[in-house]
């Protein structure tokens, strides 16, 4: 389906959308030093939107994801890197669709749960998408400890699910997972297929291991197998109606039936 949409609407896609997003956040961040109320004036507040402040529907993605200058620079660098990597992997049309769905998911969350929204969930979804596409990419945690992004993503999901478990009321719980529905739509089918393939491969390997470990020879008298004595020779009694097998020590001593 996405391929059909791309063939039809690719000319409308915006190149480097994450660069534009970060440029807007940087402008807002600088302006917030001159007007401390600016960030509040731009966030997505359902009640204020219904009261006529409709610009909030379009300005909340421009809210900086961090307030401290150093952390803001970190978020800028990481978001640009993650976004450009995704665009190289997907093409700018698919990245546009992903960000558009993330924007719609944030709108739905705000009005369904009645909570104010900024850009945090949208930026987080870019990271989760990057971690899914490039799970073994390493970053320096605290600029010292190398860690693969897949482990940071697992930690992020653990925090999300913990918030769902401890949340009070269905609206609060939906407010945690709803902003990431576009991620689930994009990656859910592929991750499910990978999980099924992995499960089948593990089951096959376990079955083959059991077959390899199964004893081919077993003495009817003492229960000895070739795993316990790989030098022992086993013989099948040709006179027994069931073709029992015996080790060399007992082949001559058993009674035929």
How does pLDDT run across 36-93, given as a tens digit for each residue?
888 888 888 888 988 888 998 998 899 988 888 888 888 888 899 999 999 988 888 8
112 Cβ contact partners less than 8 Å away, ≥ 6 residues apart = 171, 174, 175, 178
Q: What was the pLDDT predicted at 23?
A: 92
Tokens of 5: 């949409």
Q: Are 119 and 46 in contact (CB under 8 A)?
A: no
How does pLDDT run across 97-127, given as a tens digit for each residue?
889 988 888 888 888 878 888 888 888 889 8
Domain ranges of the chain: 2-202, 215-257
CATH topology of domain 2-202: Rhomboid-like fold (1.20.1540)
d(CA 51, CA 17): 30
């Amino acid at each position: 389906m996405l391929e059909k949409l791309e063939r039809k609407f690719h000319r409308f896609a915006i190149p480097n959308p994450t660069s534009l997003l970060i440029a807007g956040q940087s402008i807002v961040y600088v302006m917030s030093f001159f007007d401390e109320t600016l960030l509040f004036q731009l966030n997505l507040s359902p009640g204020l939107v219904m009261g006529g402040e409709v610009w909030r529907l379009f300005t909340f993605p421009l809210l900086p994801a961090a307030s401290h200058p150093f952390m803001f620079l970190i978020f800028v660098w990481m978001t640009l890197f993650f976004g450009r990597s995704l665009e190289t992997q997907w093409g700018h049309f698919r990245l546009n669709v992903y960000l558009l769905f993330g924007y719609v998911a944030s709108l739905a969350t705000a009005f369904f749960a009645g909570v104010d929204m900024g850009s945090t969930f949208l930026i987080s979804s870019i990271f989760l998408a990057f971690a899914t596409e490039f799970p073994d990419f390493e970053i320096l945690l605290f600029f010292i400890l190398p860690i693969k992004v897949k482990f940071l993503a697992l930690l992020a999901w653990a925090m999300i699910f913990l918030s769902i478990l401890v949340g009070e009321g269905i609206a609060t719980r939906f407010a945690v997972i709803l902003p990431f529905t576009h991620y689930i739509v994009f990656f859910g089918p592929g991750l499910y297929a990978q999980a099924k393939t992995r499960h089948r491969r593990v089951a096959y390997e376990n079955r083959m291991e059991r077959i390899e470990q199964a004893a081919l020879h077993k003495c009817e008298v003492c229960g000895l197998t070739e795993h316990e004595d790989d030098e022992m020779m086993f013989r099948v009694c040709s006179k027994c109606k069931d073709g029992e097998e015996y080790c060399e020590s007992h082949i001559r001593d058993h009674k035929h039936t």
